[in-house]
Structures are given as C-alpha cells and as structure tokens.
Copies of this chain bind each other. A is one copy, B any other.
C-alpha cells in the first residue's frame, strides 16, 4: 500500500518530519511518500495561506507521477480536502478530521491545542463543517508559530502541556489532540505530562487511510465529491505554468 502524505507549506524540513511521523504510524508493508507543494507559504497560519495551500496541495497531488492508494492532507485546520476528494478516486484523509475521529473514540470530549491564536477559528470551522464539533471541548492556542514548534520541541511541549492541562481542568477535555502538523512526534511527552490520551493527526490519518483501503472503501462520487465536469480550466495545473 502506498500513501501520499502532503505537507501544506513549502518548508521541506516539515515535510520530512511529517513523513517520518507517518512512517512510524504505518503498518509494515505501507509505503509513505512525503510531498511538498510547489508554491505557497513557508507556514500556514491563516485563511489566505490556507486557501493557497489548498490549491497547492491539489496541484502537487495531481502532478505526482505514480500510483498510490490514499492521500493525506497534512495540515491541521486547513481548507481543501473536498477539492482533493473530487479530483481523486482513492480515499482522502485530512489530519483534522482524522484526529477528531480518533479522539472521539477515546473519550467523551477532546480539546485541540494548536499553534497561534489566529488559527483557532480555522480549526473550529473545519470541525463544524465536518460535523465533528459536538464533542470538541475547546481549541486552544499554545502561542507558538508553526515554525517555532518545529524549531524548539522542548519549548513546544511545555507550551502545549500548559494548555492541555487547562483544557482538562477548565473545559473538561478527556483527550488532547495536537493541532498542528509540526507537532508530529510530541504526543508521547504530552501524554506523560497529562495522563490523557494524546492524538496525533498524521499518525491517525495513516491508520485510518489503511483502514479504508483494507475495507475497499473510497469516496462517494454520488453528489458532493463527484468528479469535476469537463470544462476549460485556465493554467491548471498551476505548477506546470509557473516560470
């Protein structure tokens, strides 16, 4: 089985880190291919950057030369998953939804701890649209930017644990979700500090992607995610027209 794991920003080291986390979660026999978009922001922390990432991820997947069994969009709270679902016939997972599904199976309420405060509304909106917000106790910001998390893991753990503890005590969270692709690999440290189950979106998405493939299930093409109609699309794929 081969799974494409697509980073949403253009920072290659984050793609490597995400792919590494994905490999650690994959079953034997599953190949993980990490992909980096050809254009877009070095970190995604708002709507403009997220919309640009949405298109950059679709562009990267559509121009990927090879076969694969599933695709994971590895940005937390980002736009675009529905577009990928239209374009592809294989299952598409995004890490926000994957993490929320897994967290819901482990406790009655989960809280997300993310990077900057300005990304909180994006995550809340994704959960609302996915119909997965009812058991979300809160989305809390650690105050660290995506690249800060990447740079200093120790500082990140401390900031995440602080918010996780407040989520448990004040918001009645029973499960913690790491709400940023750059937090991949920090789950063990946060779990030890809080005693709560800690869910990583990338790892969750890999396991769920394997499950869908094993069940021979893929995206419904009946209505919302039907393939786009045949029509003129100027300059698409964009990366092939960029100089």
Interface residues of A (CB under 8 A from B): 10, 25, 27, 37-43, 45-52, 54-55, 58, 79-80, 82-83, 85-87, 91, 93, 97, 101-102, 104-109, 117-118, 120-121, 125, 128-135, 145, 168, 172, 174-175, 195-197, 199, 203-204, 207-208, 210-212, 214-215, 217-226, 228-229, 231-236, 238, 241-243
CB distance from A237 to the nearest CB of B (A): 10
Contact A207–B215 (Cβ < 8 Å): yes
Could you say which residues of chain B place their CB within 8 Å of the CB of A10?
232, 234
Contact A168–B233 (Cβ < 8 Å): no
Q: How far is the CA of A50 from the CA of B40 in the complex (A)?
A: 18
Could you say which residues of chain B place their CB within 8 Å of the CB of A131?
104, 132-135
CB distance from A36 to the nearest CB of B (A): 10
Could you say which residues of chain B place their CB within 8 Å of the CB of A228?
41, 45-46, 48-49
Partner of A102, one of B104, B212, B224: B212
Could you say which residues of chain B place their CB within 8 Å of the CB of A224?
47, 107-109, 118, 121, 174
Contact B58–A51 (Cβ < 8 Å): yes
Given the known interface contacts A129-B129, A134-B131, the answer about A172 and B223 at a Cβ–Cβ threshold of 8 Å is: yes
User: How many copies of the shown chain assemble into the complex?
Assistant: 6
Could you say which residues of chain B place their CB within 8 Å of the CB of A91?
105-106
CB distance from A118 to the nearest CB of B (A): 6
Contact A222–B195 (Cβ < 8 Å): yes
Contact A211–B102 (Cβ < 8 Å): yes
Contact A222–B105 (Cβ < 8 Å): no
Given the known interface contacts A58-B48, A83-B51, A168-B222, the answer about A214 and B27 at a Cβ–Cβ threshold of 8 Å is: yes
CB distance from A65 to the nearest CB of B (A): 20
